Chains A and B, each alone.
Chain A
Amino acid sequence: MSLEQSYINLYQAKRESLRASSPEVMNTLRDEAIRMFANKGFPTRKVEDYRYIDVPQAFEGKDGYTMPLPTLPLNASKQGVISLNDEALLNRYYAKVADNEDAITALNTAFSHECICIHVGKHQQLDRPIELTDTFTSDEDQMEHKRILIVLEEGASARIMLRYAANNKMHIITTQVVEVFVGDNAYLEMYELEETHTSCTRFNQVYMQVGRYANVKHNNITLFNGLTRNTIKAFLKGEYSEVSLNGCVMANKSQVVDNNTLIRHEVPNCTSHELYKYVVDEQAVGAFAGKVYVAEGAQNTVSDEVNQNICASNDARMYTQPMLEIYADDVKCSHGSTVGKLDEIALFYMRQRGIPLAEARMLLMQAFVGQVVDEIPIAPLRDRLHIMIEQRLKGELDKCVGCARCK
């Protein structure tokens, strides 16, 4: 039996229980989604967008994992902004930007059974940030398919953090699809922070649709993980909008972090920025593929994309692929990437002052990725992240399976 077939069988087995607890609009798309998945199959390394990781291997043998259908312990929030399965909202937006042409998104659409909804109303300004923490706590190996819908209506503003954590060391595989709709004149700062453990495998698919005069800042921070694939797609649909996709990654041991981003300028007069920084150490693998697409007629597009990386050990690997695809003639676009080592001269300077080599390396790595954190507008979050990065580098955030150092 093929790997795909085992997931199709799993779907057939779960179909009724999924339907029983799900909103109507999610159910109507399931069968079609599993058909799309069956058609496409798990992407292999031959698929351009997935060339840096082995997706079939990631899913191999996981179909036997328990797949609980918990209902999230979500209390209706203070401002009435967060809810579970808001049917009116789902009817308007569910699966409207996520694309089942991607087999993993299709798999998620088939299997996810509830949707966290964040709805910020017209001209509503959330003065305090929202943090959703997803803590993996299962005592069994587990598979999860999660779905989040974020809608900012016209003129709304919000700051939202999605945090992924892990309490124990069971094997977890998750797919997650996040759909984000940012209305005209709306402002969104969105943070994704992963600090899970080495036996977590995560496929995170984020689709953002951005209206006119809107501003979106997406920050994607991977502090600790197993295998992570983030697909971040921003579709600029209204003129005079601005999008930034920033991220930083720290990976060592045999961690794998693959960030694949797309910024699609579909209309004129928009601006986009991208800054991703990685430090890969020991045997870790980092990959960054960032495409900026400027459609025909999207004049006056301004875009800059930077990916800078440090391979701190000889065994660590970094793949970087910034891409520009431009079909308009009046644009200002730049992109660049670098892969380097830690600065030997700076290391020696610090050692001459008595700073031990390991600590000197740590200070340099911290400084390198810290630049991404410095761009974060929320001061307390910035401070907290700097501290977390420092702890991470000191090994205080280490969580890995069977590692004597971390017990």
Chain B
Amino acid sequence: MLEIKNLHAKVDGKEILKGVDLTIHDGEIHALMGTNGAGKSTLSNVIVGNPKYEVTQGTITFNGKDLLAMSPEERSHEGVFMSFQMPVEIPGVSMTNFMRAAVNARREALGQELLKATDFLKLMHDTQKLVDIDKKLVSRSVNEGFSGGEKKRNEIFQMAMLQPTFCILDETDSGLDVDALRVVAEGFNRLRTEQTSALVITHYQRLLDYIRPDIIHVLLDGKIVKTAGAELAKEIEERGFDWIKE
């Protein structure tokens, strides 16, 4: 599904990614761990095409296509979704208008018919129930005045609306209490299909208890320095990262 080779990237003129290789097959869940500032969010942003980040070397292919040649919206239409570490507030743009624009842009790109107003509202309603997000939130401006937890829940709601095939969860668990974490993780699991794959960025084992990874990578100073099975997360939680650096 996703194949990253020798990826180097800069932000504000500073090299952050220094040669990342990563392959994720259909249906696989990979976890990405690493110290603060290691470059995890940078890697996510590069995958989704944030124009602030400059790729200086390397390739990313997604289902055989050159992802780096695509605009952020094209990548989204291909099925790539990122749950933002810090979701953005957009005052004055209602969740309804925002989601309608997103859903219909994707349908148009895929050559599907646009959703009629009533069908769209039904989809909103059903999805809101599915991920158990407060109806009131869905009728407000995008993320405006949402608490940290509500924002994360809203990311999962959007994911459910767009049904991506590859999801990046960038610290979607940070700032959530245990109940919210469970709701968000269960929401994600419910949306998963056999084909869905994901890159889950987290500092904590507790999320990985719900979303069980097949493979865990450790990113330190812009490079993946260790790749192992699910048991690595426990070890990191107990021992930190220093032992890996050696």
The answer to whether B145 has its CB under 8 Å from any CB of chain A is no
Contact of A357 among B52, B71, B75, B93 (CB under 8 A): B71
Interface size on A, residues (CB 8 A): 23
CB nearest neighbor in B for A371: B92
In the assembled complex, the CB of A50 is this many whole angstroms from the nearest CB of chain B, namely: 33
Task: Say yes or no: B91 contacts A367, CB within 8 Å.
Answer: yes
| Bound CA–CA A163/B221 (angstroms) | 62
Q: List 17 A-B contacts (CB under 8 A).
A: A343-B90, A345-B88, A346-B89, A349-B88, A350-B101, A351-B72, A352-B73, A353-B76, A353-B98, A354-B77, A354-B106, A354-B109, A357-B71, A360-B101, A363-B98, A366-B93, A367-B93
The answer to whether A387 has its CB under 8 Å from any CB of chain B is no
Per-residue interface assignment for chain B, residues 88 to 122, with 1 indicating a CB less than 8 Å from any chain A CB and 0 otherwise? 11111100011001110110010000000000000
Interface contacts (Cβ under 8 Å), in number, total: 78
The answer to whether B60 has its CB under 8 Å from any CB of chain A is no
Task: Say yes or no: B88 contacts A346, CB within 8 Å.
Answer: yes
Interface size on B, residues (CB 8 A): 32
Chain B residues with CB below 8 A from A368, complex form: 92
Task: Say yes or no: A354 contacts B73, CB within 8 Å.
Answer: yes
Task: Say yes or no: B97 contacts A363, CB within 8 Å.
Answer: yes
Chain B residues with CB below 8 A from A364, complex form: 90, 93
Task: Say yes or no: A355 contacts B51, CB within 8 Å.
Answer: no
The answer to whether A340 has its CB under 8 Å from any CB of chain B is no
Task: Say yes or no: B73 contacts A367, CB within 8 Å.
Answer: no
Task: Say yes or no: A363 contacts B76, CB within 8 Å.
Answer: no
The answer to whether B36 has its CB under 8 Å from any CB of chain A is no
Task: Say yes or no: B88 contacts A354, CB within 8 Å.
Answer: no
**CB-based closest 8 A-B pairs:** A367-B92, A354-B76, A351-B72, A353-B102, A349-B88, A354-B106, A367-B93, A354-B105
The answer to whether B188 has its CB under 8 Å from any CB of chain A is no
| Bound CA–CA A278/B12 (angstroms) | 31
Chain B residues with CB below 8 A from A366, complex form: 92-93
The answer to whether B156 has its CB under 8 Å from any CB of chain A is no
CB nearest neighbor in B for A348: B50
Chain B residues with CB below 8 A from A64, complex form: none
In the assembled complex, the CB of A356 is this many whole angstroms from the nearest CB of chain B, namely: 5
Task: Say yes or no: A367 contacts B109, CB within 8 Å.
Answer: no
Contact of A363 among B52, B82, B93, B103 (CB under 8 A): B93
In the assembled complex, the CB of A361 is this many whole angstroms from the nearest CB of chain B, namely: 12
The answer to whether A322 has its CB under 8 Å from any CB of chain B is no
Question: Can you add 20 more A-B contacts, CB < 8 Å, to A346-B89, A350-B90, A350-B101?
Answer: A346-B88, A346-B90, A348-B51, A348-B72, A349-B84, A351-B71, A352-B72, A352-B75, A352-B76, A352-B82, A354-B73, A354-B106, A355-B101, A355-B102, A355-B105, A359-B105, A364-B90, A364-B93, A370-B92, A371-B92
In the assembled complex, the CB of A263 is this many whole angstroms from the nearest CB of chain B, namely: 26
**Given known A-B contacts A359-B101, A359-B105, A363-B97, A353 and B162 have beta carbons under 8 A apart:** yes
Which of A344, A352, A355, A357 has the most chain B CB within a 10 Å cutoff? A352
Chain A residues with CB below 8 A from B90, complex form: 343, 346, 349-350, 363-364, 367
In the assembled complex, the CB of B163 is this many whole angstroms from the nearest CB of chain A, namely: 11
In the assembled complex, the CB of A247 is this many whole angstroms from the nearest CB of chain B, namely: 17
Chain B residues with CB below 8 A from A348, complex form: 50-52, 72
CB nearest neighbor in B for A353: B102
Which of A344, A353, A364 has the most chain B CB within a 10 Å cutoff? A353
Contact of A354 among B52, B87, B97, B102 (CB under 8 A): B102
CB nearest neighbor in B for A374: B92
CB nearest neighbor in A for B101: A355
The answer to whether B201 has its CB under 8 Å from any CB of chain A is no
In the assembled complex, the CB of A326 is this many whole angstroms from the nearest CB of chain B, namely: 32
Task: Say yes or no: A353 contacts B158, CB within 8 Å.
Answer: yes
CB nearest neighbor in B for A351: B72
The answer to whether B181 has its CB under 8 Å from any CB of chain A is no
Task: Say yes or no: A354 contacts B51, CB within 8 Å.
Answer: no
